[in-house]
Amino acid sequence: MRLPVPPALVIFLVATAAALSACGSSVDAPNQPPPATATEAGGKLETSPIMPEDATRWGYHPGRLSGGRDPSPTFVALPPGYVLETFVTGLEQPTSLAFTPDGRLLIAEQRGAIRVVEDGALQPEPFISIDVFSPDASDSIVELGLVGIAVDPAFSESGAVFVYYTAAAPQQRTVLARLRDEGGMGVDLTEIFSLDAQPACCHIAGSLRFAPDGTLFVTVGDHQMEPASQDLSNPYGAILRINADGSAPADNPFVGSAGVDPRIYAYGLRNPFDVAINPVDGRIFATENGFLGQDAIIEVFAGGNYGWPGSDLAVPLEEIVQPLQFYHRPLGPAGIELYSGGGLPAYAGSLLFCQFHEGGALHALTFAADGGIASDTIIALGCTSDLQTAPDGAIYFLDYVSGTVYRLSGPA
C-alpha cells in the first residue's frame, strides 16, 4: 500500500479537504462532491490511445511522465435513499478489512494490529498484534507493514484468517501467514511462504482475495526490483494463485513449465494493489500503480503479461495485455470490489475502487456491452485504502489518513 503520509502530503490533503469543504463536502458526509465541470468528456474518463512513439508498456515511456491529461472526474450524487455514514473512527493507518461469517469486521492496521469491530463498536483489544517491519519514516511514503487480510471461506469450520506483512527477523522479508480464531482472539500465526527481499519503502502490494473455487489470489509487487517482473522464475511483480496451503493449483497457467514459479497467474506488474472477482462470470480485475502516473484498472488473464518495466525490455507491444482503464496522473488506485450484493441496486455489476491520492475517492466503473469500461464516476470521497461488501450488502471502505471506516447503504 502507499502508506505513512509525509508532512507535504498532509498539507496537500488538508488543503484538498478545505477546497472540497468550500464546495459542500464534509467529514461526516464525504459523498457531497464539488459540482461537475464542463470538461468531463461526456460523463466518462476516456482511456488513453496507444502512442506510436516509445510504444512499450501501454504506449508510454516508463522513465518519464506521459505528458497527457485526464479529463476532469465526473462527480455523481448518490441515488435517493442511499446513505453514506461514518461507521467507526479511531483506527491507526488502516490498510485492509475483511468480514467474518458471524458479522465481525476485522481491520488490519499498518503497524501490525488487527482490530475488531463488533456490533458497530471498535473493540479495545486487538484480535492479534503481529510483529511487523514498518519503519516510521515521516519524510517519505512507506508501504511496509501489515497490508493484507482475508478470511477463509471455510472460516466457520477452520477459523482461519490469512495475512500479508513485512517482517524484520531473521531478515527483512514479506510474509504470507495464516492464523486461527480461538475465543475471539487470533492465535497460532504460521508462515505459509516468505520472500527475502528488502525494498527501501515500496511496491510489496500484498492484497489477498479468495476466489469462489477456494483458491487464494495474492498480489506481489516488484519490491523495487523492476526487471524481476519479467522473470518467471520468481514471484515478484506478479499476481499469484495458490491453494490455502501455499501450493500451486494444478490448473495454473505455468504449471509444468520448466524454470517457472507455478504459483504465478499473471505477471509484468509494478505494484498491483488489489484483486476483484466477478462471482457470476469469473472475470478478474486488479488495480495497478504505474510509474509517474500510468495507473490503471486491468483485467487479469491467466498467463497475461502486463509489460512492466516497459521500454527496458524487448517485449512486443502486441504481447502486452492492455488496461481496461488508463490514467495519466498518479491516481493511486488501491482496493477494488466487483459489487454483486443486493443492498445497492444502483451499483449492481459495477467495479468500485479506492483512489489513494488527491484526498481519496470512491470510483464506480460501469461496463459497456463489449465488456470494456463505459463510465467512471466518483460517488464518494475519503476512500483511500480498501473496501469490501458486507454480508448485509452495504459497502464499507477505509480512509487510511483519518483512520475512519465509512458505510454506504441503500434504501431500507
* pTM assigned to the model: 0.86
Q: How far apart are the first and last CA of the chain?
A: 34
Residue 313: per-residue pLDDT:
57
Which residues neighbour 396 within 8 Å (Cβ) at sequence distance 6 or greater?
Answer: 87, 97, 105, 387, 388, 390, 405, 406, 407, 408
CB 365 within 8 A of CB 373: yes
Averaged pLDDT, groups of 10, the chain, 412 residues long? 38 36 36 31 34 44 53 90 98 97 97 97 98 69 89 97 92 94 98 87 93 97 92 97 98 98 97 96 95 88 91 70 87 96 96 94 97 95 97 96 97 86
Alpha-carbon gap, residue 124 to 43, rounded angstroms = 44
What would the CATH number be for the domain defined by 7-409? 2.120.10.30
Q: Do the strands 216-220 and 205-210 form a parallel or antiparallel pair, or are they unpaired? A: antiparallel
Which residues neighbour 199 within 8 Å (Cβ) at sequence distance 6 or greater?
Answer: 143, 144, 221, 223, 224, 225
Residue 312: per-residue pLDDT:
52
Alpha-carbon gap, residue 335 to 135, rounded angstroms = 23
All cell numbers assigned to 284: 478478474
Residue 85: per-residue pLDDT:
97
DSSP string, 132-156: ------TTS----SEEEEEE-TTHH
Residue 181, classed as helix, strand or coil, is strand
- Whose grid coordinates read 527477523? 169
Residue 260, classed as helix, strand or coil, is coil
- Whose grid coordinates read 464542463? 38
CB 237 within 8 A of CB 218: no
Residue 318: per-residue pLDDT:
77
CB 117 within 8 A of CB 104: yes
